[in-house]
Amino acid sequence: MRIAIIGVGSIGGVLLGCLSDTDARILCVSRGQTTSILKEGLIMKTPEGAMEAIPSGRYDVFDSHWDENEIGQIEPVDVAIISGKSHSTNELATISKKLLDEDGLVVSIQNGLGNVELLANRFGVERSLAGSTTHSAWRSDEGVVNWSGRGSIELGNLNGSDANGKSLELVGYLGNAGLNPQWSNKIRGVLWRKLLINVAINPICAIVGVRNGTLAREPLLWEQAIQTMKEAELVAKSSGVDLEDLDIEQCLREVVSNTSENRVSMLQDIMAGKKTEIEVLCGAVVQRGEEFGIPTPMNQMLLALIKGIEDSVNYD
């Protein structure tokens, strides 16, 4: 199987590092400094502390800023996995469309809501998969991918169908790569559960400038996180999303404990002067809350604060 990883940041780097141990033929789509680093090879630190060097000969690299004529010279791929920032989904979908075989699959493993719906409009529901991961990772300024915690990857189709054909083959490759893939027939609920965690942790840690573990040690921050999460839970249930028997406080406590030393991606983006994903996190909760007449004051406040921070810097 030929697999393209569109956006090789932290999670994209983990996908690359793990899939390089399989017989998959891998194409990396990146830009700028990341492209230069990948041409020299990928360095990945595993959760157990081992340093792995993946030689550049194990994959191909394509710079998304190259001339479009060069895309036509690339062998089509069977699967395009989009792991870049949500605010670039439209651009990354356009690149994916030019790279994919005519019956190829496109997969979103991104934060927030709306990504897979955008892909479904471009590629059709049958060819578009939603994904969510509990693997945690961060990338250093030198480009080293630090895989800080093992988890799983859940994949599914918006229509709730079973895995078949290329989707089943993809699950097999991810399994061989040690990424613990799971197929879900209720992927909307999976995406919302991930969103609840993200709105509770990301913006608060980004604004205060702390690692995840601080939330559990500071009662006021913890209460803010829980209230933000409860708003999103109410909006999800009003949207008809099945969250099953989710205990939000227990779920948040487990995630914060397992990722206590992590700096969330939103904090990393702010520190680097980059645009955040607040619009598809708190922004999505606020928008859907307005549609159902549900007040979301905590999410509104966090959205406004992060947007204010963004407006104060020249982000990429």
DSSP conformation letters of 63-95: ETTS-GGGGGGSPPEEEEEE-S-GGGHHHHHHH
State how far the Cα of 300 lies from the Cα of 221, in Å rounded to an integer.
16
Query: Which residues lie closer than 8 Å to 142 by C-beta, 6 or more apart?
Result: none
Burial class (CB in 10 A: 0-12, 13-18, 19+), 15: buried
Residue 42 tokens, joined: 């990928």
Compute the distance between CA of residue 161 and CA of residue 163 in angstroms, rounded to an integer.
Answer: 7
Residues 160, 122, 72: CA angle, nearest 5 degrees: 125
pTM higher than 0.85: yes
How many H-runs (helices) and E-runs (strands) does the chain carry? Answer: 12, 12
Cβ neighbours of residue 217 under 8 Å, at least 6 residues apart?
A: none
The rounded mean pLDDT for the chain is 93
Distance of alpha carbon 53 from alpha carbon 108, whole angstroms: 26
- What is the full per-residue pLDDT of the chain (316 aa) written as tens digits? 999 999 998 999 999 999 999 999 999 999 888 898 999 999 999 999 999 999 999 999 988 776 566 666 789 999 999 999 998 999 999 999 999 999 999 999 999 999 999 999 999 999 999 999 999 888 887 889 999 889 999 999 999 999 999 999 999 999 999 999 999 999 999 999 999 999 999 999 999 999 999 999 999 999 999 999 999 999 999 999 988 888 999 999 999 998 888 888 899 899 888 899 999 999 999 999 999 999 999 999 999 999 999 988 755 5
* Terminal alpha carbon distance of the chain: 34
Residue 5 dihedral angles phi and psi, to the nearest 5° = -105, 110
Predicted confidence at residue 31, as pLDDT, reads 85
Q: How many CB atoms lie within 10 A of CB 39?
A: 12
